[in-house]
């Protein structure tokens, strides 16, 4: 018998845990040529802002080993056009739509959330906390617990109960768990981990930064270990909060790694650029992987890596049983 992939994000049930990551599946129109959107676990929209935004000039991306750096500048049509054109399209396709909300001020986020309140096609909301805060020298909200909490609270206030709000965090912080806690306290029903890692490429021909935005976000398989670590850390600290894990997922086994670390769902981003039909393949591979491991229900695999399993050498065993859900300490790092 093959494994059941049904998963829950708080009050929402999804037929499978494989979503498309914000900003990586476009508006859905182009992706629909390669994937039946209704067969995906869900579709996360690009971050929606109150106004249309052209984004940054080209060059917007550079290829790097196992990944890419990109600085897009949050391009998008703004909430009006989104509601008129993109959301109805996604609903027509039968996509379970998770709307990513962005902004450069708490008021921006609140405004978008307010406009989403009565939209029944919205299945869940993701707050992209990794946007630059115009009021804080352009520091991203996600880099301070209080700023992150402010935007989450602003969104949560406007969104109907029953529609879960996920806070999407950046890994570029000294203490991710503290930020996650602050978001949970501010009403986040779950967390999305991770947004891109701050990186940069220099063009060795022009001898200048490769991106018009100088630095950009590193994404793709290269960052997978950072993402898995983030999910594992946060799940250890907040085991009751559902997590959407993402960062470099390219195969079903990659998705399983995130599930074992503690994610209830996963999102596929950069891989869609390489392989636009990847999401359906990953669903299939994940199902096969669970079945091969005798795991009947996806839910049983969530966070499994936190528990001891099979043969455990005595010392490791001692560690694991005294602290079954322990956060990896910083001493558990390299060297």
Partner 1 sequence: MQVSGTVLTVREVGGYHALTLVAPAIAERFRPGQFVAVAVGGEHTGRLLRRCFAVYEVKSDYGGTVEFVFADRDPGTAWLTGRRSRDTLDVVGPLGRPFRLPRDPVSCLLVGGGPGGAALFSLADALHRRGCQVHFVLGGPDAAHVFGARSAQRIGDSATVVTTDGSVGSRGEVAGVLPQALADSRADVVYACGPTETLRQVSQVSSDYGIPVQVCLEEFLQANGACGTGLCLTCVLPVIGDDGVTRMLRACADGPVLRGERVRWSDLGTIPLEALGAPRALHVMEDS
Ligand X SMILES: Cc1cc2nc3c(=O)[nH]c(=O)nc-3n(C[C@H](O)[C@H](O)[C@H](O)COP(=O)(O)O)c2cc1C
CA distance linking residue 191 with residue 80, whole number of Å = 26
Q: Is residue 297 involved in binding its own copies (CB under 8 A)?
A: no
Helices (H), 191-301: 224-237, 252-261, 271-274, 278-292, 298-301
Q: Is residue 103 involved in binding its own copies (CB under 8 A)?
A: no
Q: Is residue 168 involved in binding ligand X (CB under 6 A)?
A: yes
Choose from ligand X, its own copies, partner 1, none: what does 247 bind? Cβ within 5-8 Å by kind: ligand X
Helices (H), the chain: 78-81, 87-92, 106-116, 145-158, 176-185, 224-237, 252-261, 271-274, 278-292, 298-301, 314-322
Choose from ligand X, partner 1, its own copies, none: what does 226 bind? Cβ within 5-8 Å by kind: its own copies
Using an 8 Å Cβ cutoff, are 93 and 28 in contact?
Answer: yes
* Cα angle 286-288-291, degrees, rounded to a multiple of 5: 110
Residue 304 CB, nearest distance to ligand X (Å)? 22
Q: Rule CB under 8 A: which of 108-167 touch partner 1?
A: none
Q: Rule CB under 6 A: which of 20-79 touch ligand X?
A: 21-24, 46-47, 70, 72, 74
Choose from ligand X, partner 1, its own copies, none: what does 138 bind? Cβ within 5-8 Å by kind: its own copies
Q: Which of 148, 155, 246, 260 binds ligand X (CB under 6 A)?
A: 246
Compute CA distances 237 → 175, 204, 326, 333, whole Å.
Answer: 12, 43, 8, 18
With CB under 8 A, what is the number of residues at the site for its own copies?
86
CA distance linking residue 40 with residue 31, whole number of Å = 11
Q: Is residue 70 involved in binding its own copies (CB under 8 A)?
A: yes
Q: Active-site residue numbers?
A: 131
Residue 136 CB, nearest distance to ligand X (Å)? 18
Choose from partner 1, ligand X, its own copies, none: what does 186 bind? Cβ within 5-8 Å by kind: none
Closest to 142 in 3D by CA, of 170, 163, 113: 170
Using an 8 Å Cβ cutoff, are 41 and 119 in contact?
Answer: no
CA distance linking residue 119 with residue 82, whole number of Å = 12
Choose from partner 1, its own copies, ligand X, none: what does 162 bind? Cβ within 5-8 Å by kind: none
Which residue lies nearer to ligand X by CB, 241 or 295? 241
Per-residue binder mask for partner 1 (CB under 8 A), 14-33, x = binder = ---------xxxx--xxx-x
Q: Is residue 221 involved in binding its own copies (CB under 8 A)?
A: yes
Q: Is residue 121 involved in binding its own copies (CB under 8 A)?
A: no
CA distance linking residue 146 with residue 99, whole number of Å = 23
Q: Is residue 314 involved in binding its own copies (CB under 8 A)?
A: no
Stretch that binds its own copies, among 32-40, 61-69, 156-164, 185-193 (CB under 8 A): 61-69
Q: Tokens for 240?
A: 């009751």
Q: Tokens for 143?
A: 């880099």
Using an 8 Å Cβ cutoff, are 244 and 9 in contact?
Answer: yes
> Binding residues for ligand X, per CB under 6 A?
21-24, 46-47, 70, 72, 74, 100, 128, 168, 195-196, 219-220, 223, 246-249, 268-271, 334-335
């Amino acid at each position: 018998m093959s494994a059941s992939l049904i998963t829950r994000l708080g009050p929402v049930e999804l037929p499978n845990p494989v979503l498309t990551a914000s900003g990586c599946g476009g508006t859905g129109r182009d992706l629909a040529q390669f994937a039946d959107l209704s067969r995906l676990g869900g579709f996360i929209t690009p971050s929606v802002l109150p106004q249309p935004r052209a984004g940054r000039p080209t060059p917007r991306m550079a290829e790097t080993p196992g990944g890419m750096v990109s600085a897009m500048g949050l391009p998008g049509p703004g909430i009006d056009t989104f509601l008129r054109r993109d959301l109805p399209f996604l609903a027509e396709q039968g996509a379970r739509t998770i709307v990513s909300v962005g902004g450069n001020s708490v008021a921006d986020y609140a405004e978008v959330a307010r406009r989403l309140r009565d939209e029944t096609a919205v299945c869940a909301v993701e707050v992209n906390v990794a946007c630059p805060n115009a009021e804080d020298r352009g520091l991203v909200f996600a880099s301070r617990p209080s700023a992150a909490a402010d935007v989450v609270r602003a969104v949560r206030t406007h969104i109907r109960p029953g529609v879960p709000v996920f806070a999407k965090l950046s890994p570029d912080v000294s203490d991710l768990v503290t930020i996650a806690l602050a978001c949970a306290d501010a009403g986040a029903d779950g967390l999305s981990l991770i947004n891109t890692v701050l990186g940069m490429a220099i063009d060795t021909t022009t001898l200048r930064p490769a991106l018009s935005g100088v630095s950009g976000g590193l994404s793709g398989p290269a960052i997978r270990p950072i993402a898995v670590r983030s999910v594992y850390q946060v799940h250890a600290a907040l085991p009751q909060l559902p997590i959407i894990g993402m960062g470099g997922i390219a195969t079903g086994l990659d998705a399983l790694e995130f599930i074992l670390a503690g994610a209830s769902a996963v999102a596929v981003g950069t891989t869609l650029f390489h392989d636009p039909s990847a999401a359906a393949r990953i669903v299939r591979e994940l199902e096969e992987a669970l079945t091969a491991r005798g795991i009947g229900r996806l839910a049983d695999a969530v966070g499994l890596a936190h528990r001891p399993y099979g043969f455990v050498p005595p010392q490791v065993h001692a560690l694991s049983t005294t602290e079954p859900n322990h956060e990896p300490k910083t001493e558990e790092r390299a060297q």
